[in-house]
Structures are given as C-alpha cells and as structure tokens.
Structure 1
C-alpha cells in the first residue's frame, strides 16, 4: 500500500508507504475465534476427501449418474420447498399477530409459536405417528368413529402420516419456529411511525402490512426461510422416523443409512450425495447474503422505537383462537399421545383411563444407562447453546465491521459446515479426532465439538440479522466515553442482540438435546445420549418406553426453552428502557 502527497511549496508529489493498521485486541480475538472454527471444519472435511480419493477414488461420477440419486434429489426438493413456503407463511402470520396487532396474549404469545421447540423432532415424530398412523393412530380412530355415526364404514384416514402430506406437514411444523424467531424480533423492534403514517393516509391494516411492514422485515423473512432450508436439508430425525414407514427417502436419511446403518459403511456414496446438498445450500447462502446487504430496513437506534398495535376490531378474538388452535393441534396433541402411551404401557386401540401407571417412567429413572443419556444430553445442550450463541454474536459483529472481502470470506467459512452436509462433517470428525493424536472417540468432548460446529452456521444467520438491526449511535457513545471494544460489546451491543438471539439459543439447545445424526456415530457406550436411545427403542417396537423417554425429553426441554423466552422478553424491555434513558440524557 502506498500513499501520495504533495510537498509544500514545490508541487512535487512524494510517495510514502501507508502504515499498517493493526487490528484491535477484540477484533483479533474475534478473527482468531472464527479461524479456529473454520479450521475444525476444513480439517474434518479435508480428512474425508483425502481418504476417499486416496483409497477409493472419486465418488462423484458414480453418484451423479445413478438414477436413484435424482429420485432422492426430487423428494428432498419437494419436501424442503413445500415446508419452507408453509413455515414462512405461518411463522410470518403468527409474528405479525403477536407483535403488530392487539391480538397479543401476553407471554403466551411468545411461547405458543415456539412450542414445537419444546418437543424435539425425534420425539415429535413419534407423537405424530401415534396420532396419525393410518390404522392405529388415535386421531384416525376418532375420525372413523365419527364418520361411522353417519353410516360411513372403513373411511380413509383423516391424515396418513406415512405419506408425502404427512412428511411435509411435520417438516412445516418444525420450520415455523425458525421463521418466527427471525421475523418476530424485527417486527418488535421496528419503529411504527411509517405504519401510522400509512394509516393516516387511509391505508387499511392489510395494505399497510404488504406495503410498509413486509418490506421492512424482508431481510428477517429471507433469513428465516433460508435458515430452514439449511436445517431441513440436513435433518434426519423426521425422515428416519416417518419417511421409513412411508418409503420416502431423502438425501440426508440416505446418507445416514449408508454410513451408520450399513456394513461396511459406504463412505464414497455418502460423500457423493453430500456434494448435492453442498451445492444447494451454497446457493441458499448466497441469496440470503444478497438480501441482507441489499435490503433497507428499520434498525434499533438510540431513540427507543415505540410500537403502536393494529386494532383488529371484531377479528381480535378469532385471531387469538387461531393461534391457540394451531398450537394445540401441532404440539399439545402429540405430547398427550406420548404421555398416554407411556402411562398405558402399550400402544393400544382406543383410549381408556384404566390401567394407567408410571411403570415406564420408573424403568427410565431406575436404569443407569437411560439416566446417563438424559444427563449427558441436557448438559451438552445447555453448554453448546450458550457457547454457540456467544461465538455467533462475536463473529457476526466482526463480519459486519470488517471489509467486504474479509467479511465475506469469514462469513463463508463460518457457514461452511451447512454447505458440506452434516454427515460428511461428522465422518470427518470420526476420522480426525477418534485416533491419534486426539483419541477423543466416544467422549463427551467430541460430541461438544460436533454440536458446536454443526449448530454455529444456523445461529450465525440469526446473529447476522440481529447485528444488522442494531444501530451505531449507542456503540459510538460508549467508545467516546472511553470504553474498550470488548466492554462495549458485552455491556452495550450484546444486550441489544439478546432479543434476536434467544430463539437461536433455544433452537441450538433443542437440536443438541435431541440430536440423532452426530450422536449415532460419535457417542460411545460409556457416554450415551437420549436422541439415539429413542431411535433404538422405536426400531425395536418399544413404543411405551420410547414414549416415556420422549415425554421426559419434552418436559425438560420445555422448562429450558420457556426460561429462555422469558429472559428474551425481559431483555427486550430492558433494552428499550435503556435506550429511552440514553435519549433523555
């Protein structure tokens, strides 16, 4: 780098080198943290690629020329695209009702849209099977009984869970929190001045929503949609639990079958399939990045935004009932099915309160193996979610402040695990960390590394959107007062980010607690985890034990997630109060 200047009085231009500007300690720490996470990913995947090329040649050609591959691609594309559209519509609608209208029901409005987080996918899938299995499902039994009153015998099931519709609906239910948690904070923190101006000029609530509110939260909507694309492409819980019975296989479940349930493991085939997932998620990341950079939206400034709710009038009560019914059908019914089968001791026809006992729960809490699985899973979930959210916030702030090239490079590296396929990354960790010199095979440490690496890309999307919505006035004021960058981050910036990061924390916790992909290949006999235990029991047909495990998992997850929601709401109020006090000063 050189700099030119004119020598005074002579008109001669001199050339002198520009001084290198060293990064601040906080920026250096942020970059180092990002490089460590990127190095874990690159080393893991590099180990897989080297071993595949050296030992068995490239798998790409054989996989791409196999007709069955494109059947998997088509099935995955149908389920992912359909569930993303449905989840975005439902999540956006719930966010608008709760944050911008008078249909809000206090803290329940924060809890209800996120309730599917309370029932991890591996447990929720079992609950939906108990409800909507074509013959023995409790809802389908009740449906046939209702139609028999009108003389209809042997009616078709209301919903066959083992079908395309069943898979898409369950995927959509678990996609709603991902879209909601991105859109709701943006609506909550957005200044309502433009909406009020639109209404003053005669625009109705619907027109205002589409012409003013929707463009303002477009980055959050795009981030939520593409976040779910990333998650759904790598999700194996629902395809393994429901897709197996429906004989519908997707890319992620096929990869797990090739690596975890085949002997010997077909590693070249799994890597070849992951190349397709890599290409799709790279495209999704590129589009999401363009949306965040190109869109103009409201930010949190130092003046303390105020929100004026839209008056729904006579539609207020129906809107509230719609939210309650949605939550009851999607979460409460599966949870009730799980607890009923747990107490009944078997999946029996009809519902009877006779013979209900807590024997299955007694078996769980008297079994050292299941107790160890519960303890390990919840401990890892709490630790992973906290570490991941903190790392994501620090790196997102660095990316936002760094130059365009450096920021894009670091952002791409952090999101690299999502573009490579979960299973391939886990296999790389098996090859890299289980042998010399680390010898971490079957330990909780390797599970913590895997959970952190796999969850960071999704959390970084939430952190990107949260950082994009934070203005610079308060941080500049803190710097002018002499606060260091690290102190400014933890005392000013991070509290502003908490409302937008609580959902990410909950998502990481639920994913880690009920994880199936990493735990199936990394957990050892001495360090079991609950997600894989549930899958094992369901494959053996032990529905009562599986239901008891699933319900226990759901209860503890519920307590944790509800606590996170409460903290997020309190932090949001504290943030608005702090910005208001700053304005008065």
Structure 2
C-alpha cells in the first residue's frame, strides 16, 4: 500500500496508464452517450424530449417491461435449476461425471441465438419434434415463439454460469460443518436450506447477477424467436439502425435508461452480498459419496435430464449441418455441401473471428493481470477507482456499449468506426472483467512474503512480478482468459452494431444466414464455432490439468 509522500513506484504509473486507457475507451464513450441522450435532436441543446418520448408511448416502455419480465424469469429459473445441479454433482458420485462437466460447459459456450435457432428447428412450426408429434400422435406442441421461447433458450444457456459459481463455493465449505449439522439431526432438505444455502448465498447472488446482465443484454434470441415480443436490446438496435433513418439520440436515451436500471440491480446485489459475505477455508472439503436406491435414481435423472435438454440444441445444429440441401430446403441424405457453402460465403468471417479474437485476448490477458495485481496488492485511491471502473462493462449491455463507441469514434481525430480496431476495443473492454476476477482471486492466495523475498534479493518490482508472481497467477489467468476467449468469438450484441463487410465475424455471419433462411449454411458455421469452443476447452484442460471451470 502506498503511503502519502512515499515515492511513486512503477505500479503507480501502471495504474494511471490503465485508468487513462479506460477513460478514453470507456468513460468518454459513455459520457458521449449520456450527452446524446439529453440533447435536442435539432438544436443540440439540453432536452428531456427523448425520455418524454420513451415514457409517453406504450410501444417503448412495454419493451422495458418485457425485458424485466424475461430477465427476472430467466434469473430465477437459472438459480432454481443450477443450485440442486451443483449440489448433487458435488455431494453424490455421478456416473460419467467428468464428461458431464464438459457437456455442461459446452452447453453454455455457444451464443444464445444459436440455441434459439436450434429450438426453431426442433419445436418451430415446421420443427422436427413438432411435425413428429403432430403426424404420429396428433399432439399440437406449445408455441415456442415469444416470451416462452426466449425464457427457455436463455435459461438452458445460462444455468451453467450459476453452476460454475456454485461449484467453487461448495468446494470451499468445510465438510465438518455438514457433519456437525447431521449429528444434530439436520438432514435432507432442511440441511440444504438451513446450513448450505446461507453459506453459498453470496456466490449465488454473484452468479445470479451475471445471468441477469447476460439475459438483459441478449439481442439475438429475442430477435430470432421473439416474433414481435420486443425487448430493450432489440428496440435499441431498431432505433439506432433503422431503414427509415435511425435516431442516435433516442437510442442513446433508451441506453441510459437501461444503464440506470442495470446499475440499480448491481448496487442492490452488492449491498446484499456485503451484508451476507464471509470467508471460508475448507480444511476438509465436501467429498462426493456413493448413494443407492431412489436417491441415486432421482439424482441421475435430474442431472442427465438437464444436460440432455441443454445439449440437444447444439446436437441438433450439428446434425442439421450434415443434411443434404437443395437451395434452402433440406432433402433426404447427407453431404458436406453446407460446409462448402459456408466456407465460400463466410471465409473472411472465420478469419476475422480468429484474428480479432487473438489480438483482443492478448490485450485482455496483459491488462487483466496488471489490474488484478494492483487492485489486490497496491490498495489506494487510484487502484480502488480502477477496480470500480474495470467492472462497469460487467453491467453495461453490449448493444449499449456498441452505440457508445460508435457515437464517440465516428469522426476525426479518433475515426475508428468501420475498422477492426473499434471491434477489438469493444471485445477487450467488455470481456476484461472475466479475466480480472479470476486473476485477482488467485493473487489473494499468493503470499506477499514470496514477493518480498525476491525484492530483498535485489529484484525490481517489475522483475519480481514477471519472474515470480505472474507464473503463480497463470492458472487463474488461463481460467478467466478461456471464458473471455469463448465469449469474444461468440459475441453478437456489440458486433452487430460495429461490424462492416470487411470485419464481419462468425456470429454475425450465422445470424445473417438464419435471418435469410439459409439454415444449412447457418448450421455449418455454428458447428465450426462449436468445434472451436470445444477445442478451446480441451486446450484449457490440458494446460491446467483441470476437468472443470469454477468461478
């Protein structure tokens, strides 16, 4: 910690440099967005006209209500489904657990809009399951479109996020606490509610917040499966990029409302978490036990049932990619035609996805490890400010961030709109929190005495960091980086606003093909993206020796 009057070392300048970077790439764009939202469309002076317009018409604020309805429903369902899933996987020996862990992770890594598209293939009006039930049993399936479809897709997609948080929390509970409760007759659901739930509540709230923000920000799912069920991200996109000429100021005003709403939820979560938080150190962590009879059957049915439902969309997409097509129509037989067509049409999109993501992840890792170190080891006003600023993208929806960047960098001297640079900036800023969180968590576990020993032997601060601390941070850095990487290559909500024909990515290409009805091409691209995701996870497991990712 720096004392007043103490000579500034290299970490002070590192902190100031990163703060300046955040000011240019995040704070200034958000200020530009704020200015646009409170400006008059013609004179440019201060005005609340855009906000009056929003709250003066049902069409607009209904979208806000719809978004709240979707996000609250998805968050509650995700928590309800993920809690027993994590508990059963931690406390009971489940057959094929290692492979099930990987499947749960894979189910969460694909973009939600691919899940929406695959459920259309399964339960749409001409979906495979819909036609089978109708033709064979005469059963009419419920409508997959609208609110129900959006909640279904996002819930199955986001449950694994809460699951990953809870797995980490459950492993930090000392088993002696559970044994003491059981010795006093507190077992079953009572033990879960009275003992375990209060211990995991802070982590559960953190996972729920991430789900809430992801559901609030999702653009592709309601766009594909909503069928007129308007949500805020779709409304912002339509207002910003309209065939009749978009209104930047009105889109900015809507974005401000979303940011205020998101910050409110974030502060409520932080308040509750701070009141309930405590530290745990598991000397005897919970061990999975073998159970028999109906308990084992119910546990396996629940876990396998969820995983089948979660992974079914991706399996459907992969299967569809190998079907023979005639134009837009699937015909009998199998072929690689969809892959050939996908590579012909979207070769640049695949190259762009890799090149942009590689550059972005390098910056993410470099900046994240520096932020994690200074915010943990060098606590002062500057680093506390950096800690707060670095988490802002965590609560700002992607479409909002995209509009803020485009409004800011669309004229000299910072003319970045239409370039690869603006996409890289958006990827880095938005995905840094994942790597920062995991890196900071591991810095807390490294004893400062190790660094002090290196310094006492004459090593400089930077040399100590890169030679001693950074290698010890690597497991946490890699864990966060893999999440950042996967979310970068599957990013849609920001990219759809910032891309041009020369910077189109795979997620945009898939979305475009689905909108055009080219389901075979979309399925082939989705399969390639899923394969990249799986390969990324396998590399992570190989490098770290782990078989799961916990947060």
Query: Same fold judged by TM-score > 0.5?
Result: yes
Q: For the residues of structure 2 that align with 1:372 and 1:28, how far apart are their CA atoms?
A: 39
- Partner residue, 1:355: 333
Return the offset for 1:420: 4.5
TM-score (ref. length: structure 2): 0.86
Contact 2:107 2:311 (8 Å CA) reproduced: yes
- Partner residue, 1:578: none
Say whether residues 1:293 and 2:269 are aligned partners: no
Q: For the residues of structure 1 that align with 2:158 and 2:183, how far apart are their CA atoms?
A: 36
- Partner residue, 2:458: none
Say whether residues 1:364 and 2:321 are aligned partners: no
Contact 2:34 2:253 (8 Å CA) reproduced: no
- Partner residue, 2:448: 476
Say whether residues 1:120 and 2:111 are aligned partners: yes
- Partner residue, 1:25: 10
Return the offset for 1:137: 1.0
Task: State the secondary structure of the residue aligned to 1:515.
Answer: coil
Deviation digits for residues 550-573 of structure 1 (CA, Å, limit 9, x no counterpart): 222222222213433554553999
Contact 2:123 2:129 (8 Å CA) reproduced: yes
Contact 1:223 1:462 (8 Å CA) reproduced: no
Q: For the residues of structure 2 that align with 1:180 and 1:66, how far apart are their CA atoms?
A: 39
Contact 2:78 2:162 (8 Å CA) reproduced: yes
Q: CA, structure 1 residues 300+260, in 2 after alignment: closer, same or farther (shift >3 Å)?
A: farther
Say whether residues 1:183 and 2:166 are aligned partners: yes
Candidates 69, 72, 75, aligned match of 1:81: 72
Range moving further from structure 2, 104-113 or 382-391:
382-391
Aligned residues: 533
Q: CA, structure 1 residues 90+404, in 2 after alignment: closer, same or farther (shift >3 Å)?
A: farther
Contact 1:259 1:270 (8 Å CA) reproduced: yes
Candidates 111, 126, 140, aligned match of 1:156: 140
Deviation digits for residues 410-449 of structure 1 (CA, Å, limit 9, x no counterpart): 3432232344543332223223334323443333222111
Q: CA, structure 1 residues 422+363, in 2 after alignment: closer, same or farther (shift >3 Å)?
A: closer
Deviation digits for residues 34-93 of structure 1 (CA, Å, limit 9, x no counterpart): 442243111212233445527545422222222222211111111100000111122222
Contact 2:321 2:338 (8 Å CA) reproduced: no
Return the offset for 1:548: 1.7
Contact 2:541 2:547 (8 Å CA) reproduced: no
- Partner residue, 1:345: 325
Deviation digits for residues 106-135 of structure 1 (CA, Å, limit 9, x no counterpart): 4224213222234322322211111110x3
Say whether residues 1:258 and 2:256 are aligned partners: no
Quick check: which has more Rg, 1 or 2?
A: 1
Return the offset for 1:196: 2.7
Return the offset for 1:142: 2.1
Return the offset for 1:94: 2.0
Say whether residues 1:67 and 2:51 are aligned partners: no
Say whether residues 1:278 and 2:259 are aligned partners: yes
Q: For the residues of structure 1 that align with 2:536 and 2:406, how far apart are their CA atoms?
A: 30
Contact 2:11 2:374 (8 Å CA) reproduced: no
Q: For the residues of structure 1 that align with 2:74 and 2:241, how far apart are their CA atoms?
A: 27
Contact 1:127 1:337 (8 Å CA) reproduced: yes
Contact 1:275 1:420 (8 Å CA) reproduced: no
Return the offset for 1:162: 0.6
Return the offset for 1:178: 1.9
Return the offset for 1:231: 1.5
Q: CA, structure 1 residues 444+219, in 2 after alignment: closer, same or farther (shift >3 Å)?
A: same
- Partner residue, 1:12: none
Candidates 208, 213, 221, aligned match of 2:191: 208
Return the offset for 1:191: 3.0
Task: State the secondary structure of the residue aligned to 1:344.
Answer: strand
Range moving further from structure 2, 77-86 or 533-542:
533-542
Q: CA, structure 1 residues 348+146, in 2 after alignment: closer, same or farther (shift >3 Å)?
A: farther
TM-score (ref. length: structure 1): 0.81
Q: For the residues of structure 2 that align with 1:205 and 1:393, how far apart are their CA atoms?
A: 42
Structure 1's unaligned 5+ residue stretches are 1-17, 148-152, 576-585
Say whether residues 1:130 and 2:121 are aligned partners: yes
- Partner residue, 1:444: 420
Say whether residues 1:529 and 2:505 are aligned partners: yes
Deviation digits for residues 524-582 of structure 1 (CA, Å, limit 9, x no counterpart): 22232111112222222222222222222222222213433554553999x9xxxxxxx
Contact 1:122 1:534 (8 Å CA) reproduced: no
Deviation digits for residues 297-322 of structure 1 (CA, Å, limit 9, x no counterpart): 44458xx6543224443323442343
Say whether residues 1:196 and 2:179 are aligned partners: yes
Task: State the secondary structure of the residue aligned to 2:323.
Answer: helix
Contact 1:30 1:398 (8 Å CA) reproduced: yes
Contact 1:191 1:298 (8 Å CA) reproduced: no
- Partner residue, 1:234: 217
Q: CA, structure 1 residues 348+453, in 2 after alignment: closer, same or farther (shift >3 Å)?
A: closer
Contact 1:392 1:463 (8 Å CA) reproduced: yes
- Partner residue, 1:432: 408
Q: CA, structure 1 residues 421+361, in 2 after alignment: closer, same or farther (shift >3 Å)?
A: closer
Q: CA, structure 1 residues 233+334, in 2 after alignment: closer, same or farther (shift >3 Å)?
A: same
Contact 1:112 1:323 (8 Å CA) reproduced: no
Q: For the residues of structure 1 that align with 2:521 and 2:349, how far apart are their CA atoms?
A: 14
Return the offset for 1:216: 2.2
Q: For the residues of structure 2 that align with 1:186 and 1:394, how far apart are their CA atoms?
A: 26
Contact 1:506 1:561 (8 Å CA) reproduced: yes
Return the offset for 1:513: 1.6
Q: For the residues of structure 2 that align with 1:332 and 1:196, how far apart are their CA atoms?
A: 38
Contact 1:129 1:161 (8 Å CA) reproduced: yes
Q: For the residues of structure 1 that align with 2:438 and 2:267, how far apart are their CA atoms?
A: 16
Q: For the residues of structure 2 that align with 1:237 and 1:407, how far apart are their CA atoms?
A: 36
Return the offset for 1:278: 1.0
What CA RMSD, in Å, does the superposition of the two structures yield over aligned residues?
3.2
